[in-house]
Each structure stands twice: as structure tokens, then as C-alpha cells.
Structure 1
Amino acid sequence: MNKRVPVITLLTDFGLQDEYVGVMKGVILSINSGVQLVDITHALTRHDVVQAALVLKSTYSYFPTNAIHVIVVDPGVGGKRKVLCCKRGGHFFLAPDNGALSLVIQDGNVDELRAITNEAYFLKPVSHTFHGRDIFAPVAAHLSRGLDMSRLGQEIGLSDVVTLDLPAPFLSPRDALVGKILSIDAFGNLITNIDQETLMRFGPGQRLEDVVIMLGRSKIRGISTSYDSVKTGSPVAVFGSRKLLEIAVNQMDARAYFKAGVGQTITVKLPTVKGGASR
């Protein structure tokens, strides 16, 4: 049986107009030419660690075990923040200690966690502004060649790692589920922090088509199964591929349609039944 080719994924906010992504790949291939490189995206909003955390959570599990996931959204590059190597469920994660790993480690189920300090695996000299090239890329390449992560640096605890204070949906005194827009994708779809499991706990036995979703002064009745459940140009609510509630406009940009932004409040109201209770 052929040995599986090691996989390294890259997730950055670098864009493609500059040489940064290409140089990182060059460093990796110079150390291990037999690796398979996969670009998750390089179009994250600049410095948006929350978006990086969301994309990482929604993608890493689709890769084979022993994949190495490199996340470089690093507004604190060159400062005092740590560089992390985390192992979870057979996957390796390399990221700055700025919250990018928050959703990967939030349940505490981590196999190993280290601060990367062993400069033997860095390029020399190390730039103060491009750790993607000088630290993340070479460390990922060495891991892909079988380096034991214990050689990277001291083991640390979860309490030593920066985590994002992401808003959680909550039940309001008016019996509505209140959430926030966490992210907006390239299509302009508004991705919220309300997942399907939370909604089902909030209203067990309710039909999705009966809920009312409010965004500002706008109302959407029901949660549909697809964007084309409504006419072109009409608003629609769906649970997207991340299993999070999305507000979209069929074949249009919901951000522009609703004049919405990240952090805006969204409420989900269940229909009132006899006796005045919502459920």
C-alpha cells in the first residue's frame, strides 16, 4: 500500500496580489517536496481573527488525519504573542496565539498543545513582519516529514491560550432567541451564531416554517431548505453548510439589501400558541 502523501492546508488574509502565499509554499516545498498543499482561502478580511476561527472550524474535519493546518491571520506578528502548535483528533494546527484556534479548542478536547520556540526549525533570520514564511511554513514542513511536535517547544495548558469572547445566542425576556451576525461571506450572506441544535432546543417540536426571523425592521417567515425557495431578489433564511442560520437574498447580496454588518442583532421568534406560551 502506498504511503499517504502529507497534506498542509493554508488559511490566511494575505490575498493573492502579493508574493506572500507563493513564498510560503516555496519554503514548504524546499523542505518537503512531496507534500500536498491545499489553499483553504487567502481572502479572509484583513486581521479578522473571528472569521479565521469560523472558517477553520468549518473546514479542517474534511481533511485526512495527520493533515497540518496553517493559519496566518496575525495582526500581532513580531510582538509578544506566542506561536502555537495544537494536535486534536489526529490533526495538527499552527496558528498565532490570538484566538484563531478558539473554536477548535473550545470543548477542551485537545491531545497536545505547545508554544513553538525551537528556532532550529525556523528560517534565519526571522523577519519581524513575516512569520508565515520564517516560522509557520518551515515548522509545518518539518512536521510533514515526521517531526515529533514535542521538539517544537514547551507544552502549555488551555488556560495559557488566548480565546475569543464570541457572543452566544440567548433567550430574551420576550421569549425570542437573540443572536448576532458573526460573518458575511463573499456572496453577501449573513452568517449568524445560531446553530440548528440551539434553535431546536429553544423550540422543540416547532416547525421551521413557522418561526419569524427579525433583522432590524425586516421580517422573514420560516427557515427554508434552499436559497431558491423564494423568488429571485427575495430574502430567505436557511441553515448553511456550517449548520449556522444564514440570512440571504436569492441571487443578490443580503449585506447590501439589509444594510447589515457584523455584530448586528438578529432575533428568532416562535409563533404564539393558545394560552400565550411560545412552546
Structure 2
Amino acid sequence: MTIVSFTTDYGLADGFVAACHGAILRALPAARIIDVTHLVPPGDVRRGAAVLAQTVPALPRGVHLAVVDPGVGTARRAVALRAAGGHLVGPDNGLLVEAAERLGGVEVAVRLPVPPGTPATFHGRDVFAPAAALLAGGRDLTDLGAPLDPASLVRLPTPHTRLDPDGALEAEVVLVDVFGNVQLAATGALLAEAGLRPPARARLTCDDQHRDLAVGETFGSVAPGDPLLYVDAAGMAALAVRDGDAARTLRLAPGDRVTLRLS
């Protein structure tokens, strides 16, 4: 339980991440901190939530500290949650709930107090990191703050996905990774239900563009430069271009909607 994972949009150019590490280690010198990423686009709660949710199942049981907090210092709540598979700490802006659900669902939630005189712009260091250290050190969640109804926690809108009776699968773009691979909101099971299994070919439609592409299992399923529809390591439908950048080639970004059907 001394493990603390840490996800933020703080970047690596400043001392924000180190200051939070310091706050944890001063309170709990035995803590083991796993930096998930600090390169979430600034203020992109949705991206942070998706990365966190897809990463926590692979991490050891512990405390998952996440801070993507454009509302820092406002009326948004600071919270700590207990799920079956661990604890989560961060702002109540939708960042934590999907990850908590991946860990078995929120069992208990509390509102963390913000002590008088706390600087309004760095709750990561002054509120969330100390709470994460207490939990990692064995403190009971209910000691940290006033109880909250888990149903009152902020939840992000569910990304759009729909399988039409005619077999067309509509899905929203959720993530674009560093390689330019495009993750969709549709699961691999839904892709299969639409008949889009290897070695089929699919037709991709988005706005005024149409593209035929292979359905495969690996990037090597297609020739260099060719597009591919596949199921990624998170079990989600995804688009790639072998040795290329699918987001750039297909002109796709998070929030876009695509339609896929057998070609």
C-alpha cells in the first residue's frame, strides 16, 4: 500500500511534479511513486481520465493520485475515493470515476478539506499529495474528510458509440497516442458484432472523407503506409497507419465521430 501512482498535466519543464513528489515523500519516506504521465494536454480532463482508467488495471494495488484540475481553487470539490482495487485522489471533475469503475467501482467517497491559507493554485502539492501519502501509509479514508454520496461525483459524458441495424458502427474518437494511433469508443466486442474481424475490409467515413482499410491484428497486417483497423491493448477499436500517423493521415482528433462498415 506504499505505492502511489501519479498522473497530471503539469509537464516536465517546471518543478511542479517534483514538489508533489516531495510532499508525498516528506509524509511517507517509504512511498514508491509510479509516474504514469505528466504530459496530459493542459486542462484536458477527458484525456487524463481515459489515460488513468486504461492504466490503473496494470498497476499494483495502491493509491492513484491524479491532478488535471482547470478548476483549482474554485467551488469544485477535492475528493478521495475507495474502490475495490485501490484508492484514488484528485479533483471532482470527472477525472477519477472511470478509473474507479475499472477498479471495481466507488465504495466510499470523502471530500478533502482545504486548510485556510492554502494557496489557491497548487492543490496537487498542498491537498492531494498529502492525502495520497496518508492513504498509502495506511490511514483510513474516512479519517480524511466528510463523507460524500458516490452518486454525486462528477462524471464525464459517455463517448458516443452505436451499432445501427444495418451494421454501420458509429464511434467517437477518444484518444490519439504519441504514435498517432486513434482509439475509438467502441470495444473490440462491438467491432466483432459489426462483422469487422480479420481479414475483412472496412469502409471508414468521417464528414466528407471515405477510406477503405484492412481489419487486422497487428501493424504488420498491412504494407507500410497503409491504414488499419484493429483492437488495441486496451480492448478498444483503433486505427493506425503502418509506419505512419493515423490521426494526421485520416485527419482525426478526439471528439470526432467516424462510421465503420464492411466494405
Partner Cα separation in structure 1 for residue 182 and residue 143 of structure 2: 42
Partner Cα separation in structure 1 for residue 191 and residue 228 of structure 2: 17
1:173-226 per-residue CA deviation (whole Å, 9 max, x = no partner) reads 6431101111111111111101112223444xx643225140432323342111
Larger radius of gyration: 1
Q: 1:118-133 to 2 correspondence within 5 Å?
A: 119=115, 125-133=117-125
Q: Which residue of 1 aligns with 2:244?
A: 252
User: What 5-or-longer segments of structure 1 have no aligned partner?
Assistant: 272-279
Partner Cα separation in structure 2 for residue 20 and residue 51 of structure 1: 20
Of the three residues 73, 77, 80, the one matched with 2:75 is 80
RMSD: 2.0
Moved over 6 A (4+): none
How many residues are matched?
Answer: 260
Q: Is 2:2 the partner of 1:6?
A: yes
Structure 1 or 2: more strand by fraction: 2
Change (3 A) 1:127 1:228: same
Identity of aligned residues (%): 30
The one-letter code sitting in structure 2 at the alignment partner of 1:9 is S
The one-letter code sitting in structure 1 at the alignment partner of 2:199 is E
Of the three residues 109, 112, 116, the one matched with 2:112 is 116
User: What's the secondary structure of 1:209's corresponding residue?
Assistant: coil
Partner Cα separation in structure 1 for residue 134 and residue 53 of structure 2: 24
Partner Cα separation in structure 1 for residue 186 and residue 138 of structure 2: 39
The one-letter code sitting in structure 1 at the alignment partner of 2:128 is F
Q: Is 2:46 the partner of 1:53?
A: no
The one-letter code sitting in structure 1 at the alignment partner of 2:247 is R
Mean CA deviation greater in 48-57 or 107-116: 107-116
Change (3 A) 1:32 1:195: same
Q: Is the 8 Å Cα contact of residues 118 and 151 (structure 1) preserved in structure 2?
A: no
User: What 5-or-longer segments of structure 2 have no aligned partner?
Assistant: none
Superposed displacement of residue 171, structure 1: 2.5
Q: Which residue of 2 aligns with 1:142?
A: 134
Q: Is the 8 Å Cα contact of residues 28 and 137 (structure 1) preserved in structure 2?
A: yes
Of the three residues 198, 209, 216, the one matched with 1:208 is 198
User: What's the secondary structure of 1:137's corresponding residue?
Assistant: helix
TM-score (norm 1): 0.86
Q: 1:52-201 to 2 correspondence within 5 Å?
A: 52-65=48-61, 67-105=62-100, 109-117=105-113, 119=115, 125-172=117-164, 174-201=166-193
TM-score (norm 2): 0.91
Q: Which residue of 2 aligns with 1:20?
A: 16
The one-letter code sitting in structure 2 at the alignment partner of 1:95 is G
The one-letter code sitting in structure 2 at the alignment partner of 1:99 is G
Q: Is the 8 Å Cα contact of residues 232 and 250 (structure 1) preserved in structure 2?
A: yes
Q: Is the 8 Å Cα contact of residues 54 and 99 (structure 2) preserved in structure 1?
A: no
Partner Cα separation in structure 2 for residue 198 and residue 173 of structure 1: 13
Q: Is the 8 Å Cα contact of residues 118 and 152 (structure 1) preserved in structure 2?
A: no
Superposed displacement of residue 230, structure 1: 1.2
